[in-house]
Amino acid sequence: MASTSSRPIVIHTTPPLQPLPASDAQSIYYIALFQLACPGRWAATVADWADNGGALPYITHLDHLIQPHHLFSLPNFTHPDEHLSSTQRAEAECWTAFIHGKVTDLVHHSLYSLPHNYSASVGKAHLSNLTFPTSQYIPQRLRGMHKARLQHVGLWGLGGMNENDLAVEDQKRLENLYVTAPGGTVAPRAWNGWKSGREFEDRRRKVGENELRNILRNAMDPLKRLLGNKPYFYGERPCSIDLWLFANLSLIITTSLPNPIFADLLRAEYSGLIHHHDRLLQLLFPVTSESRSSNYVSSWNQTPTITSSTPKLSLWQTIQASLTWSSSPAEASPTSSRTEKKKLNKSERDFRRARWLWYAGALGSMVVYLFASGLIQIEYVGKEEEDSMEEIEDEEEELSDDDEELVLDPEEEEDIIIVVEPEEELESADVEPDQEGPNPAPNEEGLEDIAEEVAEDIENPYNDRED
């Protein structure tokens, strides 16, 4: 246990994978780096997955976040590559990229893809500091990220698959049991025996393990040749290559995995890399013990750690804390008592007052914007406007009535004045035969007959007049 005042540098790591203090290679690299560069001035603590936007691990110096490229500017920090020449530093960068591109993928394949390794080791480590509901999606999200990378490089499922992944493969195999003819006819494939599926899976697993061993050899052989008989890659002092390889191999050698293909191959064919790992671990955390496994546990137990003071809240406590308007998590925690709260000084009261004023200003600005932009409109209708609206409605009703047929009242009397011009063409039987022209003018008797007929039509408009 270490205090923050005596150890200003804090490494916020992923959950521990026993006996390691972390479950990823980068966290172990930072632990080895600070133990080598500035021993006694750092400590490790397990971070929450919500810290730093979920980007773990990260480093703070006096509670300030430090970017990885600014680590070497910290006071009293010794760069592990300072004893290398410019050519050796360039080569070290290339070999570091080689480890990231080859060895790290193989380590992740052993932890996340090989059968039983994830559920028995890394999966339990990720669930150790999680509560509901984060325990339902964070481990799957982390494994999904590694799965996408391993599928891209062709390592996912190589050498066997987990039970959940096998269910998906079984569904695909079931779909392949039937053949669809060009005409749409579906027929089953030829039967190969009751144990055909099991034999196929065993055959695929053995072929995948052999292919995996070849990939492991292609990745470890160059490192074996580079190390040779030297204690470290570039002489008597470790550099960044040694630290990165040490961090990756620690996840394979130190932990007890149910499917130790990688570890067995290292112990059988790459004993020099195993000794390199043990030598660097003894340099960082020296112990004296008889067995190698006990050395691993005793060495990693010397890692200086800081226990997080933030209590773990349940789902209900988290909801209560989120609904509490407080300035610090300690005040929002329901476990803190009122007697332990310190009295607020003037600056804190001013800060709270300014915060509430800011909330009120933001809310007021939003309301003003809604009315000024026209998104929300309030209209007032007076008495005169109501009368005008009623008149408009009456006019619309009258217009609709005009479209209906008009029915005349037969009893209604109207005064009609008929004007007969002498030049008007009238068809009448009383026409003088002596008149010349195509349209002879009617005589006086014919005009009188026409006037009588018109008067009868006016008096009886619905009676048919006899021709």
pLDDT in tens, 406-458: 444 445 444 545 554 554 444 444 444 444 455 555 566 667 777 777 777 76
For residue 59, list its beta bridge partners: 11, 66
Q: Tell me the residue range of the domain where 359 lies.
A: 346-375
Residues in CB range of 456: below 8 A, 6 or more apart: 465
Dist CA 400 CA 74 (whole Å): 89
Least confident of 68-72, 271-275, 282-286: 68-72
User: In the chain, what are the helix, strand and coil shares in percent, each to the nearest 5?
Assistant: 55, 5, 40
| 276 and 425 assigned to the same domain | no
Q: Is residue 67 part of a domain?
A: yes
Q: Is residue 1 part of a domain?
A: no
What pLDDT score does 426 carry?
45
Cα–Cα nearest to 165, from 113, 110, 108:
113
Model confidence at 340, pLDDT cuts 50, 70, 90, reads: very low
Among the three residues 357, 375, 393, which one is the final residue of a domain in this structure?
375
The mean-pLDDT minimum among 186-195, 231-240, 344-353, 392-401 falls in 186-195
Rounded CA gap, 274 and 254, in Å? 11
Query: 17 vs 127, 213, 352, 439, CA distance in Å?
Result: 11, 25, 42, 125
User: Cα(first)–Cα(last) distance of the chain, in Å?
Assistant: 130
- The token duo for 173 is 């195999």
275 shares a domain with 142: yes
Instruction: Write out the two tokens for 110.
Output: 């052993």
The Cβ of residue 267 has, within 10 Å, a number of other Cβ atoms equal to 13
How confident is the model over 249-266, as a mean pLDDT? 93
One domain, residues 67 and 147: yes
Do residues 362 and 448 share a domain?
no
The answer to whether residue 396 is domain-embedded is no
Are the beta carbons of 238 and 288 closer than 8 angstroms? no
Coil vs helix vs strand at 285 = coil
Give the residue with greater pLDDT, 372 vs 105: 105
With a pLDDT cut of 90, the percent of the chain lying above it is 41
Does the bond joining 133 to the residue before it have cis omega, within 30 degrees of 0? yes
Q: Give SS3 for 232.
A: strand
- Write down the pLDDT at residue 169: 54
Mean pLDDT of 158-185: 60
Judged on CB neighbours under 10 Å (0-12, 13-18, 19+), 22 is buried
CA atoms lying within 13 Å on the CB side of residue 361 = 6
Pair 51, 114 in one domain? yes
Average pLDDT in the 300-314 region?
76
Instruction: Produce one character per residue of 138-163: b if its CB has 16 or more CB atoms within 10 Å, e if not.
Output: bbeebbeebbebbeeeebbbbbbbbe
In a domain, 213, yes or no: no
The letter for the amino acid at 124 is K
Label residue 386 by pLDDT band (50, 70, 90).
Answer: low
Tell me the CB-side half-sphere exposure of residue 28, using CA atoms within 13 A.
28
Q: Which residue has the higher pLDDT, 349 or 357?
A: 357
Tell me, yes or no, whether 59 lies in a domain.
yes
Answer with the residue of higher pLDDT: 57 or 346.
57
Residue 223 token pair: 């490192």
Structure tokens at 306: 């800081």
Asked whether residue 207 is domain-assigned, the answer is no
Least trusted range by pLDDT, from 207-211, 258-262, 288-292? 288-292
- Residue with the larger pLDDT of the pair 431 and 76: 76
Rg (CA), the chain: 48
Strands lying side by side in the sheet with 42-46: 42-46, 9-13, 58-61, 64-66
Tokens representing residue 338 in the block: 């009122």
Q: Is the pLDDT of residue 350 over 80?
A: yes
Residue that wins the pLDDT comparison between 38 and 429: 38
Residues contacting 240, CB < 8 A, separation 6+: 80, 81, 92, 96
Q: What is the mean pLDDT of the chain?
A: 78
- Is residue 217 within 8 Å of residue 223, measured between CB atoms? no
| Closest listed residue to residue 310, CA positions, set 328, 322, 325 | 328
Q: Where residue 151 sits, what CATH number does that domain have?
A: 1.20.1050.10
Other CB atoms closer than 10 Å to residue 441's CB: what's the count? 16
User: Per the domain annotation, does 95 fall within a domain?
Assistant: yes
In this structure, the answer to whether residues 370 and 422 fall within a common structural domain is no
Q: Is residue 439 domain-resident? A: yes
Query: H or E stretch including 73?
Result: none
Q: Do 143 and 244 belong to one domain?
A: yes
225 plus 356 within the same structural domain: no
462 plus 362 within the same structural domain: no
Residues 70 and 17 in one domain: yes
Element (H, E) at 178: strand 178-180
Burial of residue 111 (CB within 10 Å: 0-12, 13-18, 19+) is buried
Q: What is the mean pLDDT of residues 318-331?
A: 50
Tokens of 46: 């397990």
Residues 6+ apart with CB under 8 A from 87: none
Do residue 250 and residue 354 come from a single domain?
no
In the predicted structure, residue 138 carries a pLDDT above the cut 70: yes
Which of the residue ranges 74-83, 84-93, 267-276 would you say has the lowest mean pLDDT?
74-83
What is residue 341's predicted lDDT score, i.e. its pLDDT? Answer: 45
Statement: residue 38 has pLDDT above 80: yes
Greatest Cα pair distance in the chain = 159
Q: Report the distance separating Cα 48 and Cα 191, nearest Å.
A: 53
Predicted confidence (pLDDT) at residue 338 exceeds the cutoff of 50? no
What CA–CA distances, in Å, run from 180 to 11, 45, 359? 59, 58, 66
Q: Please count the structural domains in the chain.
A: 3
Residue of 29, 3, 55 whose CA lies nearest to 107? 29
Query: Which two tokens mark 345?
Result: 């000084």
353 and 436 assigned to the same domain? no
Q: How confident is the model at residue 6 (pLDDT cuts 50, 70, 90)?
A: confident
pLDDT attached to residue 429: 46
Residue type, 326: S
> Could you tell me which of 367, 106, 439 has the C-alpha nearest to residue 252?
106
More confident residue, 202 or 362: 362
**Reported confidence tier of residue 264, pLDDT bands at 50, 70, 90:** very high
Least confident piece of the model among 97-106, 325-334, 430-439:
325-334
Out of 358, 375, 392, a domain closes at 375
Task: Give the mean pLDDT of 228-249.
Answer: 95
Give the pLDDT confidence score for residue 348 in this predicted structure: 78
Question: Which of 50-54, 103-107, 285-289, 306-310 is the least confident region?
Answer: 306-310
